[in-house]
Amino acid sequence: MRVSAIITLKKDVLDPQGKVIHQALDGMGFENISEVRQGKYFEIDVNENDPNKAKAVVEDMCKKLLANLVIENFKIIETQ
Amino acid sequence: MKSSVITFPGSNCDRDMDVALKKFGFTNKMVWHDDNKLPKSDLVVLPGGFSYGDYLRCGSMASKSKIMQSVINFAKSGGLVMGICNGFQILVETGLVPGVLLRNKYLEFICKNVFVKLDNKENTYFKNLNKDVLELHIAHNEGNYFCTKDQLKEIKDNNQIAIYYCNSDGKIEDQYNPNGSLKNIAGIFNKEKNVLGMMPHPERMIDESLSGEDGSLFFKNLLNNIR
């Protein structure tokens, strides 16, 4: 079963890369933007058919390695 | 006195650290990241570099490598563990010191000499050092120290801030902050002060004719404090 995880920076954490992307988009004429935040996206194939169990495994991965909970939040999405 | 320097895939300041430690009298051993056991040591150093290519987050993979469990146990039993640059990033990923190191504020790799002010000398690393401001070298892309408000209060209350970026007179101001670090923080202790993580490289300041001597002062003093 494929499970996806999205890692995003918490609200109070400065995202200099997101800021630069925002400026570049502004310069290209995309002016209707109030903020850009950059994150990470993972697709993980887990050898598990039970969606709840598969999601629990990926949640554990997020807590232990994929995300740093001091600055990041994660969201798990079942994709298949 | 015995020291160990851990080499991770992508470490590149491990041999410089080996040279520095030996120059001032440590008997140093290089330890591979995939080893299980730490040799008997008075000091363990996590060196600078780009462990695991800085994949995922700087230091995140290295913090999970085999040897780190022994390093964590050594630190928790009161052993001296020092992380420089990438080593500092590895330390925050293990949770031995609080906070994280984000991308530099202006997205530049910074490679230059800086001055740092010692904030706390009640510890083995800085005790008896006769200078309050050291000139050291930094070379990093992710040195922008950040922690939550609660963590900041806690590290202040416990005197865990080790060094601040400053000018040559020791003035700590925003204009002397190279990378956007919270409160100009360049280095942090754990609560017990046996674990030190810092971005500047003392091992690059051990030769008067090549660089400067403030790293020499640091290592000589550290050795005397451990003895």
Tell me how far CA of residue A72 lies from CA of A37, A38, B23, in angstroms.
Answer: 12, 11, 42
Q: Which of B13, B58, B85, B147 is catalytic?
A: B85
What is the predicted pLDDT for the residue at A14? 85
Q: At what angle do helices B66-76 and B86-94 cross, to 10 degrees?
A: 80
Under the banding of pLDDT at 50, 70 and 90, the label for residue B210 is confident
Q: Per the structure block, which two tokens stand in for A52?
A: 């709840």
> Across the interface, do B56 and A66 touch by the CB < 8 Å criterion?
yes
pLDDT value at residue B208: 87
Which of A16, A66, A68 has its CB closest to that of B103? Answer: A16
Angle of CA points A33, A37, A42, to nearest 5°: 130
Burial A19-32 (b: 16+ CB within 10 A, else e): beebeeeeeeeeee
Residue B100: which of A20, A65, A70 has the nearest Cβ? Answer: A70
Fold of A2-78: Mth169; Chain: A , (3.30.1280)
Smallest Cβ–Cβ distance between A16 and the set B64, B98, B105 belongs to: B105
SS3 per residue for B131-155: CCEEEEEEEECCCEEECCHHHHHHH
Residue ranges per domain, chain A?
2-78
**CB interface of B with A, residues 75-94, below 8 Å:** 93
From B142's Cα to the closest Cα of chain A, the distance in A is: 11
A23 lies within 8 A of chain B by CB: no
Q: Nearest CA to CA, how far is A16 from chain B (Å)?
A: 6
Q: What is the pLDDT of residue B211?
A: 86
The interface residues of chain B toward chain A in range 41-60, judged by CB-CB distance below 8 A, are 56-57, 60
**Order of all β-strands in the sheet with B110-118:** B27-32, B2-7, B43-46, B80-84, B195-198, B185-189, B161-166, B110-118, B133-140
Q: Using CA atoms, how far apart are residues B34 and B9, in angstroms rounded to an integer?
A: 10
User: How many other β-carbons are positioned within 10 Å of the β-carbon of residue B219?
Assistant: 20
Flag the least confident range among A21-30, B6-15, B155-164, B185-194: A21-30
Domains of chain B: residue spans and CATH: 2-226 (3.40.50.880)
Rounded to a whole number, what is the distance in Å from the CA of B51 to chain A's nearest CA?
A: 15
Percentage of chain A lying above the pLDDT 90 cut: 82
- Whether A68 contacts chain B with CB within 8 A: yes
Q: Give the burial class of A3: count Cβ atoms within 10 A of its Cβ; 0-12 exposed, 13-18 middle, 19 or more buried.
A: buried
- Residue B7 has what pLDDT? 98
Order across the sheet with A72-78: list the strands.
A40-45, A2-9, A72-78
CA distance B189 to B129: 17
Mean pLDDT of B136-148: 96
Interchain CB distance below 8 Å, A16 and B151: no
pTM for the whole thing? 0.93
- If you write DSSP's letter for every residue of A26-68 in order, what string do you get? HHTT----S-----EEEEEE-S-S-HHHHHHHHHHHIIIII--
Residues B3, B42: contact at Cβ < 8 Å?
yes
- Model pLDDT, residue A9: 94
**Is B137 annotated in the active site?**
no
Give the dihedral sign, CA B122/B26/B67/B205.
positive
Contact of B220 with B24, CB cutoff 8 Å = yes
What residue has token string 């146990």? B73
Q: How confident is the model at residue A80 (pLDDT cuts 50, 70, 90)?
A: low
Residue whose entry in the numeric block shows the structure tokens 């590290």? B155
Which residue among A13, A16, A65 sits closest to B64, beta carbon to beta carbon? A65
Q: Summarize pLDDT for B45-74 with one digit per residue, the tens.
A: 999 999 999 999 999 999 999 999 999 999
> Searching chain B, which residue's CA lies closest to the CA of residue A17?
B107
pLDDT tens profile B155-205: 999 999 999 999 999 999 999 999 999 999 999 999 999 999 999 999 999
Identify the H or E element spanning B28: strand B27-32
Q: Mean pLDDT across the stretch B122-147?
A: 96
Contacts of B60 in chain A (CB under 8 A): 65, 68
Active site residue B201: yes
Element (H, E) at A76: strand A72-78
Higher pLDDT among residues A31 and B7, named by residue: B7
